[in-house]
Structure 1
């Protein structure tokens, strides 16, 4: 947005490609993903002749967290600000008006605004020194150098299930600097900032290894009784595995992200009767929620907090904020097979740490179908099929177990803004599926409930062909940046921009992929991340 300095009446306005320049409509909130081009220009004007030395344009990624839980009253909470990404746009001298006096001083005249284009590329990773703190394993810096998504609300209402004490923002920052005859830092005459959203592309990680002390529950058993003082009916066991990730489509460049992300999940039930006369129970309502956990800290995280260990899962400087959202099942058919089948007991036990395979049991959703909530009913809103160790179903025999499978297709609610699973130095976001199945034992008046807590990922998709186009275009090698921000080779680029009326520029201020780790020459400037911690004073 434009900023006005009252004392000197200097204005800086930052425009992004795709902006509607009509004064009657507000500017859109742009959303980018990995390898997307961020194009625009900075317009600087003044009402009085203003000498200046240079203009600086940056792409910034900033994390802000606060510590709000205190045992004693305090005036203000401690906060931390961490700049994890800083990319500078190279600006050659030909972009400025003719020098006025000394070779490093230019004059901004009234009625002659200065238009400077910029072009960044959303990187795929951060440089290795973006995570320089102590860590417990090699997986921590690997996760912390992934580009984190935007987190927190700004410009538009956007419910991304985040508390206000944690915020990750991306912005274009432009500033006009005054001439400085000494070695002291130049004074900022005027500055402006333009924020936007970033939803980076991410890859699906292997299934999480659930530790013994973890709060995740992938299997739950319950002994059923005929009554409080009557005999046992048998044991019912509910089991599942971690499903495939919810995959978010590439975001729209302008406007809110409206995802259509789904995953398939298989629930396996086994009933071991006490004697052959004990019938399996009737299944009632099945409910599904997704829990979004946001962990934030004022100290860098030394481990990845996705296990939610029992007891005290986080250190004294970390806090977790949890939000539950009900999920919906799509195209859930009626039961096409008997609810329970009697099958031979397996000759061996198999522990599967992989993904759920419900997609082979559930039909493909129709594009015109609408989500149906998992509400309470006389029977479960699921598709049921028999799971057997062999292809044939035997006759009822003594104490043979009953098996059944429930295939679910779960869809993320479009009323929320979903962001990918990520872990950064100060903020993490991960998800958990919470499943609750009501069971009605035969002859009992009170039902009981079996519940599971299953880890699940949310990942972002990149735009098809963007990475290949980035590598094939040779962008990293088209602009060679030497020591101290050498601008050689960029003069012709800016000349083409001026001759073309300012519609395009081929100066790349971004980097991406594995090329980032090969050397800083791929960036016009890439400043090592830093963070500052402060405690506000009382008024």
Structure 2
């Protein structure tokens, strides 16, 4: 039999063996996690330790057991163009893959699994606090975007691990899992997968609160509305009552508690509505406030190609691309009557009056434009409404994040109804849309302790580094025999380079 026939026969044997293992002889594989409960949430620096138990139904030869912790983002965008026959464009981004090295002593010798015998292979992973730079290798318009893409995204879109709705569409999923593969080396150098299994994990990494967004008032390119002014009338055929201005600033982040904490209080933040009423004349009184409804809107941006900028509704419309989409859904938070809010009367100060240095910058930014319009000595009214923001427990809330092809942002929608004293005038409504961030505490202060093997390896490395060494004068026959070849790519410039008669250009990147 010639070499070609032998190779073809061997390849056929491998294919038949793999097919048999997959159909009739599939081994029983179980991934056991230590201290794991159903519905457990893992976060930054948490240990994922356990073992893989494999029981072969018959004698089987293998070469390697591969155990990995993997994270992947999957998206698809429906194709609306008539010029393509594909129903959708899909994308897969494997942003995390940690491989557990196994020692030779963990394997049976020889590497042949006996029928009915259970083999155990230990593993130990730690949820990292950041991805490697190669996880985001595409072009970004700012370093801030690149840094955001290197943060671990939370699990999203999988009811198996979350248990409840996390407001994610079918078009975007973020999944973490521990994968096990039984491999055998093929004659062509490629590994043949004899069996594989995975176990999904629910991971919510720690996410620190970011600085407030810089949103210009009246910017039509923004997704948010922080201030709105509305004219009010006394009646249908009556004169003007005045104008009311409702403004607010971005509230502080809603911080999800650590998964290991016993806190039963739901995550809460507070927004502040600043109201100002400028009467048309001195006889005009402030209007009566009605109901205030609060909703939180979750926006999931997804794409089939990496994003160079942080997505928004405006950029999605301005840079129309068929490979990007957004899914918006809202959850009602509260609805209450604010009729009892009291108004405070003020007099507009003269333009030359010096403002108190203790005044809040936020208050001045909200009212400075309208104060300049008011005549000195004229009257106006102000009121403040505190709006608590509490996330309902009926949903699974995930932190705000931006990855290469999926992002999640949140907006608080406030709708305030205002009633004028005249008859026949319907209630006016003023709506604000405030950005809000959801952060997560995680377990940043609780690093996972090293295992005994890791501690021994670190100690051995330290002892090798600190091992005493003897430095002595070289023997005469060795003096002058070594030549140091200077290469611009390896060695920094010496002082002589700067004192040479000919000017030299030094590359700062090589210094």
TM-score normalised by structure 2 residue count:
0.75
User: How far off is 1:429 after superposition?
Assistant: 0.1
> Is residue 2:246 matched to residue 1:238?
yes
Aligned counterpart, 2:34:
17
Deviation at 1:18, TM superposition (A): 3.3
Partner residue of 1:109 out of 106, 114, 117: 114
Q: Give the drift of 1:153.
A: 2.0
Distance 2:85 2:261 in 1: 42
Q: Deviations over 1:341-377 (max 9, x none)?
A: 10233567989469x9xxxxxxxxxxxxxxxxxxxxx
- Structure with the higher helix share, 1 or 2: 2
CA-based RMSD of the aligned residues comes to: 3.4
Shift in alpha-carbon separation, 1:199–1:35, aligned structure 2, 3 A:
same
Contact 2:288 2:339 survives alignment (8 Å): no
Counterpart contact for 1:258–1:414, Cα < 8 Å = no
**1:344 aligns to what?**
347
1:207–1:353 CA contact under 8 A, matched in 2: no
Kindly state the Cα deviation for residue 155 of structure 1 after the two structures are TM-superposed: 1.9
TM-score scaled by structure 1?
A: 0.72
CA shift at 1:319, angstroms?
A: 0.3
Matches within 5 A, 1:9-408: 9-19=26-36, 28-72=38-82, 74=85, 76-99=87-110, 106-155=111-160, 157-180=163-186, 182=187, 184-211=189-216, 212=219, 213-251=221-259, 260-306=266-312, 308=314, 311-312=317-318, 315-328=321-334, 335=340, 339-345=342-348, 352=361, 399-408=378-387
The alpha-carbon distance between structure 1 residues 309 and 175, as it changes in their structure 2 partners (threshold 3 A), is closer
Equivalenced residues, count: 422
Cα distance, 1:477 vs structure 2: 7.2
Task: Look up the match of 2:431.
Answer: 451
Verify: 1:413 aligned to 2:392, yes or no: yes
Q: Which runs of 5+ in 1 are unaligned?
A: 21-27, 100-105, 357-386, 388-396, 481-488, 490-539
Shift of 1:229: 3.6
Q: What is the distance in 2 between the residues matched to 1:341 and 1:117?
A: 68
**What is the rounded CA distance, in whole Å, between the counterparts of 1:253 and 1:191 in structure 2?**
35
TM-aligned CA distance change 1:76 to 1:478, over 3 Å: farther
| Highest RCO, 1 vs 2 (Cα 8 Å, sep ≥ 6) | 1
Q: Distance in 2 between matches of 1:167 and 1:258?
A: 28
Q: Cα deviations across residues 257-312 of structure 1 (Å, max 9, x unaligned)?
A: 98811001110000000111001000000000000000000000010114745953
CA drift of 1:455 comes to: 0.3
User: Contact between 1:216 and 1:307, CA under 8 Å: does it hold in 2?
Assistant: no
Q: In structure 2, do the counterparts of structure 1 residues 88 and 340 end up closer, same or farther at CA, with 3 Å as the change threshold?
A: same
Deviation at 1:50, TM superposition (A): 0.8
Task: Provide the secondary structure at the position in 2 that maps to 1:94.
Answer: helix
Whole-Å separation in 2 of the counterparts to 1:433 and 1:52: 56
Structure 1: distance between partners of 2:328 and 2:319: 13
> Are the equivalent residues in 2 in contact too, given 1:328–1:413 (CA < 8 A)?
no
Find the aligned partners of 1:223 and 1:309 in 2 and give their Cα distance. Answer: 31
Tell me if the contact between 2:350 and 2:377 (Cα under 8 Å) persists in the aligned partners: no
